[in-house]
Amino acid sequence: MSPCIDDDIPPEIDASSESDLKLNRRDFLTASAIVSATLVTGIATAEAPSPTTPSLLPLTLSINKQIHTLTVDTRTTLLDLLRETLDLTGSKKGCDHGQCGACTVLLDGRRINSCLTLAVAAQGSEITTIEGLGTPGNLSPMQQSFLEHDGFQCGYCTPGQICSATALLDEVKRNEFSVVSFNTGHTANPNINDDEIRERMSGNICRCGAYPNIVAAVRALTGGIHGTGGQV
Amino acid sequence: MNPFTYQRPSAPEAALHAIELSNSKFLGGGTNLIDLMKDRVETPTALIDINHIGLDQITSTAGSTTIGASVRNSDLANHPAIVANYPLLSHALLSGASPQLRNMATTAGNLLQRTRCPYFMDTAFPACNKRQPGSGCAAIQGFNRTHAILGATNEGSANPYTCIATNPSDMNVALYALNATVELHSSKGKRTILARDFHRLPGQTPHVDTILAPDELIVAVTLPAAKFAKNSWYLKVRDRQSYAFALVSVAAGLELDGQAIKSAGLALGGVAPKPWRSLEAEHALTGQPATSETFARAASILLNGAKPFPQNVFKVELAKQSVIRALTLAAKGAQA
């Protein structure tokens, strides 16, 4: 699925009744997903005759400190479960292949790609999504920092960026390294300068190119030494 | 994805029992397997999750360090014993993928990630000997800038099973240079093999990347006594600064006695279907002064027999210069 889903709106939508046109974007996406699912099932039957029966499993997940008891198709990724079943649509689907970071959530406090994580494999872990970091009236420090430093443009990658940056702070507190720490000979005590921030945030792609302000938002909370040639 | 069953055993024995069903696969971090399943390049009908069978420890004894199969790449890279004694491994691990993927990916999963290229990943291309042996190789006449120059190419298009994809792991390159071993268990027994013998060249069976039997489980990777703790470097050359596969990478470790090289570990990534190591090149370093002339001689030996394709001719000289640079930085002890 591409983030520019609006490009894929089929022509018949334009011919819908006025009440259909009042469908909000969420309803439209849900409806599209049902159509897509039907198509995918058809393809699966044609290409791979066996097995065709989905394998269903009961599942208990703790998400943002709330327990959810569900039955899922084993194929369901954590990302799809969050978005399509639990209506936690903050986590975004960009590439769906672990290459863009828009789906980043925290699993037991560590950042992961929820698009490559099976929901069934996440059982037993505490999952934190952007919805669990803060609320509109009570933003987390990293959410507040992104707001103050204008660390976004279209906002699509932002939930993943903020989840990723939140985990980054914990990694720095645990004195974890990046390859920059090794390349610069700072493995005893990494200086979290802009080169370090860029490397540590490199799992999150921003199509709008808001990187300078994202780095600024993270820098404000790492208290790091400012950049080695890359300072904004 | 095709439907599959999911099991979560709590002990290695249960996992080995479960794998005996046909067409089942072990699930580690899933960063490569789930990705390939989404594209129907991999189509297992059963997944056996091995993240909860107690293989998540790193243990050091007097002579060696043993890494459990499901230790995450990020935990391994940051483990104090690894950083202190095997910084080459940390340096390589942190050069790969992204923080998110390193938090997911496991030691065994990294060893088992597929040797691959964009044509393998995209089933719209019918010709891929790795997906379908005998179907041809779309890369030979296609976009082959990132492909192999060693190990896969000597037979060229004369071999109907040619595959010129590279193994993208950074960890594996360091494991080869460190002379690591891999411990394998099955319900029939156990065996230990050198990491450098674990992966195989495509030959006539390019769909088989490793010597792992279908019913075998990697339980651990063991690093022998550390020799390169003071003098090692992992150099990764790629199209963008981070989060990209290597065009060329070098794992270099030197054991120095003054300016003389007592022993050396040297392997290349991004240039072959498996990390490329030549004992002859390492012997050319041993007993010699740590000078650029010595390093250049080893680089030439390591690249012996390189056969590039039209778009990746640059890789031969890039690899030679990268070897010289990595050995120079290792000799300086620049890492500590």
- pLDDT for A194-217, tens place per residue? 999 999 999 999 999 999 999 999
In a shared domain, residues A147 and A215: yes
Nearest to B30 by CA among B42, B21, B18, B20: B42
Prediction ipTM score: 0.96
DSSP letters spanning B236-274: EE-SSSSSS--SEEEEEEEEEETTEEEEEEEEEESSSSS
Residue B96: closest CA among chain A residues belongs to which residue?
Answer: A179
Nearest to B264 by CA among B287, B248, B236, B297: B287
Identify whether A95 is part of a domain: yes
The pair of structure tokens assigned to A62 is 């703790």
SS3 B233: strand
Same domain assignment for residues A208 and A173: yes
Check CB contact under 8 Å for B31 and A77.
Answer: no
Question: B301 pairs with which residues across the strands?
Answer: none
CATH code of the domain in which A67 resides: 3.10.20.30
CATH class of B1-49: alpha beta
Q: For residue A210, which amino acid is it?
A: A
Is A172 part of a structural domain of the chain? yes
Whether A112 and B74 have beta carbons less than 8 Å apart is answered as no
SS3 content of chain A, % helix, strand, coil (to 5): 45, 15, 40
Kindly indicate the confidence band of residue A34, based on its pLDDT and cuts at 50, 70 and 90: very low
Pairing label, strands A126-128, A56-63 = parallel
CA A30/CA A24 separation, integer angstroms: 10
Q: Are residues A140 and A125 in contact, defined by beta-carbon separation less than 8 angstroms?
A: no
Degrees, nearest 5: CA angle B310-B128-B201? 75
Q: Do domains B1-49 and B232-332 have the same CATH topology?
A: no
Q: What is the pLDDT of residue B113?
A: 98
**Residue B30 has what DSSP assignment?**
-
Residue A71 has pLDDT above 90, yes or no: yes
Q: How far is CA A230 from CA A198, A199, A227, B235, B316, in A?
A: 9, 12, 5, 22, 32
Please check whether residue B103 touches A, CB under 8 A: yes
**The total number of structural domains that make up chain A:** 3
Chain B hits for A47, CB-CB cut-off 8 Å, are: 40
- d(Cα A204, Cα A47) in Å, to the nearest integer? 34
Confidence of residue A21 (pLDDT cuts 50, 70, 90): very low
> Is there a contact between B104 and A118 if contact means CB atoms under 8 Å apart?
no
Q: Which of B74, B94, B335 sits opposite A185 (nearest CB)?
A: B335
Closest chain B C-alpha to A135 CA, distance in angstroms: 24
Q: Give the closest-approach CA distance of B332 to chain A in angstroms.
A: 12
Chunked mean pLDDT (size 10), chain B, 336 residues? 96 94 93 98 97 98 95 98 97 98 98 98 96 95 96 72 96 98 97 98 96 97 97 97 97 97 98 97 98 98 96 98 98 76
Q: What is the average pLDDT score of chain A?
A: 82
CA distance B70 to chain A (A): 14
Question: Which backbone phi and psi does B18 adopt, to 5 degrees?
Answer: -70, -35
Residue A28 predicted with pLDDT over 90? no
Among A74, A123, A177, the residue with its CB nearest the CB of B94 is A177
- Looking at A117, A133, A149, the residue that finishes a domain is A133
Q: Are residues A111 and A180 in the same domain?
A: no
Does A185 contact B at CB distance below 8 Å?
yes
Q: Is A60 on the interface with B (CB under 8 A)?
A: no
Residue carrying structure tokens 């651990």: B220
Q: Rounded CA gap, A115 and A105, in Å? A: 10
d(CA B323, CA B234): 10
Instruction: Write the CB contacts of A24 (distance below 8 Å, at least 6 apart in sequence).
Output: none
Check B242 against A171: CB less than 8 A apart: no
pLDDT of residue B145: 98
Contacts of B63 (CB under 8 A, 6+ apart): B224, B225
Q: Which of B100, B104, B113, B249 has the most A C-beta neighbours within 10 Å, making it the best mutation to test the interface with A?
A: B100
Residue A31 has pLDDT above 90, yes or no: no
Domain-embedded: residue A229? no
> pLDDT value at position A156?
98
pLDDT beyond 60 at A79 = yes
The angle subtended at Cα B97 by Cα B25 and Cα A126, nearest 5°, is 65
CA of A189 to nearest chain B CA: how many angstroms apart? 11
CATH number of the domain within which A166 lies? 1.10.150.120
**By the 8 A CB rule, do B252 and B332 touch?**
no
What domain range is A107 assigned to? 56-133
Statement to judge: residues A30 and A95 lie in one domain: no
Domain parsing of chain B, residue ranges = 1-49, 232-332
Domain membership of residue A205 (yes or no) is yes
CB-based contact B281:B298 (threshold 8 Å): yes
Sole residue written with tokens 């393998």:
B120
Q: Could you give phi then psi for residue B24, rounded to 5 degrees?
A: -105, 155
**CATH number among 3.30.390.50, 3.40.50.720, 3.30.565.10, 3.40.50.2300, domain B232-332:** 3.30.390.50
pLDDT of res. B286: 98
Dihedral of alpha carbons B109, A1, B118, B168, sign? negative
pLDDT of res. B157: 57
**C-alpha distances out from residue B149 to B134, B160, B164, Å:** 21, 18, 8
Contact (CB<8Å) A52/B3: yes
Tokens of B128: 């891929």
pLDDT grade for A187, boundaries at 50, 70 and 90: confident
Residue A167 pLDDT exceeds 50: yes
For residue A26, pLDDT over 60 is answered with no
Average pLDDT in the A163-172 region? 97
Q: Which residues of A155-168 are buried (b: 16+ CB within 10 A; e: fewer)?
A: ebbbbbbbbbbbbb
Read off the tokens for B301. 């030996």
Q: What share of chain A has pLDDT > 90, as a percent?
A: 70
Question: What three-state secondary structure class fits A130?
Answer: helix
**pLDDT value of residue B155:** 58
